[in-house]
Structure 1
Amino acid sequence: MSRSHLTRWIRALAAACTLTLAATATAAATPQDRTTPRPDQTAAIVDASTLPPEQLCDLGKPIPFGKYLASRGNNAPASSPTATPAADSDATDLRQECAEHAEAAKTARGWIKSRFESCQKKPYDLVLRNLQGSETLGRMWFDVWVLGFAHDGVRKAEYAVSVENIEVAPVGTEDATKWRIIQSFSHSINAGKSDPNPQVTAPTTTTRDETLTGWHTTPHWTLTYTSPDTGKVETGNHQRVNATVTMTLGANSPNADSSYSEVGAFHSGVRFDYAGAVAGKYKGTVFTEARVELVLSLSDDAIKESTRHIRDAQQYPERTFPSWPGKTVPGKDEPLHRLINREEQDANRDRAIDTCHDVWGNYEGTRLQCDEYPFSSTHEGANAGNDRYSARLIDGDDNEAGGRRLNSMYIANRILDGDPFYVKVTS
Structure 2
Amino acid sequence: MNTPITLARLARGAVTATALALLVTVTTGAHPAPAADDTPPASVGFVDAASVPAEQLQGFDQLVPLKDYLHTHGSSLARKAADAPALPDPDPDPDPDPDLKQQCASHAAQAKTTAGWIKSRFESCQKRPYDLILRDARGTTSLGRLKFDQWILGFSYDGSRRVDYVASIENIWVQPIPTEDATKWRVGQHFRQSINASTSDPNPQVTEPQTKERDELLGEWDRTPQWALTYASPDRGPLFEQGNQQRVYSTVVMDLTASSPNSVPYGGGVDNYHSSVRYDYAGKPAGKYKGAVFTAARVELVMSQTDPKAKESALHIYDALNRPERTFPSWPGKSVPGAKEPLHRVIDPDKVDANRKKSIQECKKVWGDYSGSGLECDEYPFASTEEGSTKGDNRFSVRLIDGPDNRKGGEYINAVYTLNRVLNGDPFYVKITN
Whether the TM-score (by the shorter chain) exceeds 0.5 is yes
Shift of residue 71, structure 1, vs aligned partner: 1.1
Residues 42-93 of structure 1, C-alpha deviations (whole Å, 9 max, x = no match): 5221011111221111211111000011113412246869956367433521
The one-letter amino acid paired with 2:186 is R
Tell me the equivalent position of 1:68.
Answer: 69
Tell me the equivalent position of 1:401.
408
**Alignment partner, residue 203 of structure 1:** 209
Q: Deviations over 1:255-299 (max 9, x none)?
A: 214533411101101010000111111100000000011000011
For each residue in 1:86-115, what CA deviation from the matched residue of structure 2 results, as whole angstroms up to 9, or x when unmatched? Answer: 674335211111111111111111100000
Q: Given residue 326 of structure 1, which amino acid in structure 2 is its aligned partner?
A: G
Q: Residues 40, 169 of structure 1: CA spacing in aligned structure 2 closer, same or farther, 3 A cutoff?
A: closer
Residue 305 (structure 1) aligned with residue 306 (structure 2): no
Q: 2:371 aligns with which of 357, 364, 369?
A: 364
Q: Return 83-92 or 233-242, whichever deviates more.
A: 83-92
2:180 equivalent to 1:174: yes
Alignment of 1:324 onto 2:331: yes
Equivalent position of 1:156 in the other structure: 162
The 1:143–1:80 alpha-carbon spacing in structure 2 relative to 1, beyond 3 Å, is farther
- Aligned-residue CA RMSD in angstroms? 2.2
CA contact (8 A) 2:346 2:385 kept: yes
Change (3 A) 1:277 1:87: closer
Alignment of 1:326-345 (within 5 A): 326-345=333-352
Relative to structure 1, is the Cα distance of residues 248 and 258 closer, same or farther in structure 2, using a 3 angstrom cutoff? Answer: closer
TM superposition score normalised by structure 2: 0.88
Question: CA separation in 2, counterparts of 1:343 and 1:40?
Answer: 73
Task: Establish whether residue 33 from structure 1 lines up as the match of residue 38 from structure 2.
Answer: no
The residue type paired with residue 101 of structure 1 is H
Residues 362-400 of structure 1, C-alpha deviation per residue, up to 9 Å, x if partnerless? 101110100000000001101011111001111111000
Question: How far, CA to CA, are the matches of 1:35 and 1:286 in structure 2?
Answer: 58
- TM-score, structure 1 normalization: 0.90
Q: Say if 1:141 and 1:30 are closer, same or farther in 2 by CA, change over 3 A.
A: closer
Number of the residue aligned with 2:14: none
Q: Which residue of 2 aligns with 1:140?
A: 146
SS of structure 2 residue aligned to 1:75:
helix
Cα distance in 1 for partners of 2:149, 2:138 equals 28
CA contact (8 A) 1:178 1:253 kept: yes
Contact 1:35 1:137 (C-alpha < 8 Å) held by counterparts: no
1:410-425, aligned counterparts within 5 Å?
410-425=417-432
Partner AA of 2:187 in structure 1: I
Matches within 5 A, 1:271-290: 271-290=278-297
Task: Give the aligned partner of residue 276 of structure 2.
Answer: 269
SS in 2 for 1:90: coil
> Is residue 350 of structure 2 the alignment partner of residue 349 of structure 1?
no
Number of aligned residue pairs: give it. 402
The one of 111, 114, 125 aligned to 1:108 = 114
Kept in 1, the 8 Å contact 2:65–2:173? The answer is yes
| Closer, same or farther: CA 340–258 of 1 in aligned 2, 3 Å | closer
Deviation at 1:408, TM superposition (A): 0.9
Alignment map for 1:89-100 (pairs within 5 Å): 89-100=95-106
CA–CA distance in 2 between the matches of 1:206 and 1:128?
A: 26
User: Among 167, 185, 188, which residue is 2:191 paired with?
Assistant: 185
Shift in Å, 1:137: 1.1
Q: Percent identity?
A: 53
Partner of 1:57: 58
More helix by share: 1
Amino acid aligned to 2:259? N
With over 3 angstroms needed to count, the CA separation of the structure-2 counterparts of 1:398 and 1:208, relative to structure 1, is same
1:132 CA drift (Å): 2.9
Contact 2:42 2:262 in 1 (8 A): no
Amino acid at match of 1:322: P
TM-superposed deviation, 1:38: 6.4
Residue 12 of structure 2: aligned partner:
none
Distance 1:257 1:303, change over 3 A: closer
Counterparts of 1:240-279 in structure 2 under 5 Å? 240-257=247-264, 259-279=266-286
1 CA distance for matches of 2:316 and 2:31? 76
| Counterpart contact for 1:271–1:285, Cα < 8 Å | yes
Aligned counterparts of 2:142 and 2:349: Cα–Cα separation in 1: 67
Q: Kindly indicate whether residue 136 of structure 2 is the aligned counterpart of residue 125 of structure 1.
A: no
Contact 1:382 1:389 in 2 (8 A): yes
